[in-house]
Amino acid sequence: MNQRTYTVDISPGEPRNHVQMFQGESNKSPEWIAGDLDITLRELPQGNLGYRRIGSNLYRTEVLTLKEALTGGWERNIPFLDTYEPDLKIRRKKGVVVQDGEIEKIRGKGMPIFEQDDEHGDLFIEYKVISPTGNSKLLQKLHDEL
């Protein structure tokens, strides 16, 4: 059995489970016609910096404290998948309230759109607000801070 090496070029934004075919490259023999070698590209679930991908769009969840959600005035840098770009800065001005489950859409910050030069999907950030439960002293302290 001969061992071969194949070079697989992965284009920006290539879809999940995309198949690249090498025609006539599988199981060659004088007794039969060689079939095609199909290579299926899969994404790994780890190492994604907290992003989830659906098509060309990216999704991420950011957790806020109750104080951040109610008073605004916060800023965060989140790592961006494209290492050629700086971290993405998200923020809320002082006094701007963020609701639990609120979704922010950032145009053009998703994955490259496969075979469409310079086009990108969008990034959707869902905000989850941590709400205190139980301890009435803690609730009173939070109320006083606000």
pLDDT in tens, 50-61: 899 999 999 999
* Comparison of pLDDT for 135 and 55, the residue scoring more: 55
Alpha carbon distance, N-terminus to C-terminus of the chain: 73
Q: What pLDDT sits at residue 143?
A: 64
What value, to the nearest 5°, has the Cα angle with vertex 85 and ends 80 and 91? Answer: 55
Which residues neighbour 117 within 8 Å (Cβ) at sequence distance 6 or greater? none
Torsion, Cα of 99, 104, 145, 141 (10° steps)? 50
Which top CATH class is 52-145? mainly beta
Q: What pLDDT sits at residue 2?
A: 72
What value, to the nearest 5°, has the Cα angle with vertex 77 and ends 97 and 45? Answer: 105
126: pLDDT strictly greater than 90 = yes
What average pLDDT score do residues 40-59 get?
A: 87
| pLDDT per position as a tens digit, 12-26 | 888 888 888 888 887
> Alpha carbon of 112 to those of 35, 62, 106, 108: distances in Å?
32, 22, 14, 9
Q: What pLDDT sits at residue 138?
A: 65
H-type alpha helices, the chain: 66-71, 136-145
| pLDDT per position as a tens digit, 59-118 | 999 999 999 999 999 999 998 877 777 889 999 999 999 999 999 999 999 999 998 878
Round the average pLDDT of the chain to a whole number and report it: 87
* Residues 89, 77 contacting (CB under 8 angstroms): yes
CATH 2.60.260.20 in the chain, residues? 52-145
What value, to the nearest 5°, has the Cα angle with vertex 68 and ends 63 and 70? Answer: 115
139: pLDDT strictly greater than 90 = no
